[in-house]
Amino acid sequence: MSEAIFITGTPCTGKTTVSEVLSSKLNCKLIKINDLAIENDFVLGIDEEKGYRIIDIEALDEKVSEIISESDELIIFEGHLAHLCSGADKVIVLRVNPDILRPRLEARDYSESKIRENLEAEAMGVCTSEAFEEYGDKISEIDVSKLSIEETVNVISYVIEDKLDFPVGEVDFMDWLISNF
């Protein structure tokens, strides 16, 4: 029986790095959602105003479901769109304080409007909210602001093993939003 773990969050919260280390530690398959979308030609176009790829979420969801149904092992799906797909046994939402997130976004040379949009999304918990609609209590929302990669990997390992629980609603960056906008 396969198990699917989705790791999601706002850009620059550490999803990719953590997922790579975690999949190596657990000796399991890692699928990067963005790569899956590109490789399968699920990119419908580019949002010229925001610079984002527009992804066919329905087609992506079907592909993710197909991969899960054909597998008999643990698979980690990583990406900020992962939570929009179905089939996860657990969803891990990585959260980072916007003051820590800003320099990470700036380092990627994002435009100020894209940085602002991502900071607002993080402060408002958009990924968590969207994931909650689909998955409810299958979600763990982890504030990784002060955790190293190794600490984050260990925490997620415990969540996967049902040894730790991080229920939705404990991470709150609304004060940041109110004081910065």
Binding residues: 14-17, 108
**Torsion-angle region of 136 (φ positive above 0: left; ψ -120 to 50: alpha; else: beta):** left
Give the whole-angstrom CA distance, residue 87 versus residue 4: 7
Report how far residue 121's alpha carbon sits from residue 72's, in angstroms, rounded to the nearest whole number: 35
Q: Do residues 98 and 178 lie in contact, with contact meaning Cβ atoms separated by under 8 Å?
A: no
In this structure, the number of other CB atoms found within 10 A of the CB of residue 110 comes to: 18
Query: φ, ψ for residue 134 (rounded to 5)?
Result: -90, -35
Q: How far is CA 146 from CA 6, 86, 142, in A?
A: 22, 30, 11
How far is C-alpha 87 from the geometric centre of its chain's CA atoms? 15
Bind-site residues for ATP: 14-17, 108
CA 49 from chain centre, in angstroms, equals 23
